[in-house]
Amino acid sequence: MRDGFGREIDYMRISVIDSCNLNCYYCNPCDNNEHCHALNILSVKEVLCIVRAATRLGIKHFRLTGGEPLLHPQLDEMVLQIKKIPGVSSVSLTTNAVLLAQHAKWLKEAGIDSINVSLDTIDASEYERITKKPLLEEVKHGINAAIECGIRVKINVVLTPQTDVVALTRYVAKKGTDIRFIEMMPVGEGHTNGVEPYKKVIGTLSKLYGEPCRINTEKTKEINSGNDKRKIPDNGPAEYYIFPELGIRVGLIQAIHGKFCDTCNRIRVTADGRLMPCLGSSVTMDLVPDSWDFADDVEKDFAIVRALRAAIKAKPRCHNFNDNAVTYTKITETKTTEIEAAEVNAARNMSRIGG
């Protein structure tokens, strides 16, 4: 389905749980965030209902996020059942990988298509400073386990002034996976920190490995470097570069310095069932309101289709991260109400949104 600005929306991120086993300062400020969560998160049945409705509108790529999704006790069953839904092309996962070594095998068996691992440093003391937990070795074991199971893995790095781009890239190159450097967004405890991704990442790596080859930025990206010519499916906003000496893709996701709103193809569902057409906007919609009373699942599915259609049509042209004030927009099937508020999204942490 196309939104009001002609963009094809075919990608949905679903936060299946908003609790986490880490306390990264830019994501969740709670000291004990196993208890920092909504009282009512989506059930597996509700997630499946949302996915079925989404496929009717042409959404075919689904990413399960958190919090930390591996804390969800029924995640394997959820992946398995989503993969069975007609119209689903891919199911991916974003995780901090602390528990991944224990679960990689059954994720592969359930049919997971790819896993993104959030890893901001490979220095143990720096990892503990960022996450408040001494669990770097568990993360490394999880990455190894997923690769050994044959799962396609990408490493996601949130850029800060302290990020050691070279050390991380060398570590990932040895694994043969992709690495993406993500500009920190001003959401929740996150903040802009003056880091320009292209300058810090590509500028730094170019001094060691020479000028990279820019990869085509289509939904299917083609590597064309020397004798390496291959197409790799990719549904995200990253700009990819390849350094022949490294042999891996180095991606940049730049919400501020490389604004990609014109080609945005995604919507998000929070752990408590709110739909966010744009991470950088306060347009929201309740997909599973308590007041809905349906005779059967089919009727409920079509009600969610109508709600999704309304929300996609209300997707804003671009994010408002740079604005001093935003408009809170609440969408229902029958009306849209707007209330002026200052930086509404900044009050909601990334762990609640499904970053």
| Interval 259-315: pLDDT, tens | 668 888 999 999 988 999 888 777 788 887 665 666 677 777 788 898 899 889 888
Q: What is the pLDDT of residue 320?
A: 63
Q: Is the pLDDT of residue 83 over 80?
A: yes
Q: What is the pLDDT of residue 231?
A: 43
41-45, 110-114, 167-171: the lowest-pLDDT one: 41-45
Q: What is the pLDDT of residue 25?
A: 82
Q: What is the pLDDT of residue 196?
A: 87
- Going by DSSP bridges, is the β-strand pair 152-159/114-118 parallel, antiparallel, or unpaired? parallel
For residues 100 and 117, the answer to whether their CB atoms sit within 8 Å is yes
- Determine phi and psi for 157, rounding to 5 degrees: -125, 125
Average pLDDT on 194-215 reads 91
153-167, 205-219, 326-340: the lowest-pLDDT one: 326-340
Give the tokens for residue 280.
């950088």
Domain that holds residue 53: 11-261
Q: What is the pLDDT of residue 228?
A: 41
Buried b (16+ CB within 10 A) or exposed e, 172-196: bbebebbbbbbbbbbbbebeeeebe
Beta strands in the chain (DSSP E): 11-15, 61-65, 90-95, 114-118, 152-159, 178-183, 213-214, 220-225, 228-233, 239-242, 249-253, 266-269, 274-276, 283-286, 326-331, 336-341
Provide the number of structural domains found in the chain.
1
Residue 237, domain CATH: 3.20.20.70
Give the tokens for residue 125.
């003391």
Residue 279 lies in a domain: no
Q: What is the pLDDT of residue 258?
A: 55
- CA angle (31 as vertex; 142, 167 as ends), nearest 5: 40
Residue 293 lies in a domain: no
Residue 315 lies in a domain: no
Q: What is the pLDDT of residue 301?
A: 79
Q: Is the pLDDT of residue 221 over 60?
A: no
Residue 179 lies in a domain: yes
Query: CA-to-CA distance for 102 and 207, rounded, in angstroms?
Result: 39
Residue 344 lies in a domain: no
Residue 347 lies in a domain: no
103-117, 197-211, 216-230, 256-270: the lowest-pLDDT one: 216-230
138-147, 176-185, 258-267, 333-342: the lowest-pLDDT one: 333-342
Q: Is the pLDDT of residue 229 over 50?
A: no
Dihedral sign (CA 23, 24, 30, 35): negative
Percent of the chain with pLDDT over 70: 73
CA distances from 286 to 50, 116, 261, 329 (A): 12, 27, 23, 12
Residue 143 lies in a domain: yes
Give the tokens for residue 288.
């599973």
Residue 154 lies in a domain: yes
For residues 139 and 133, the answer to whether their CB atoms sit within 8 Å is no
Mean pLDDT of the chain: 81
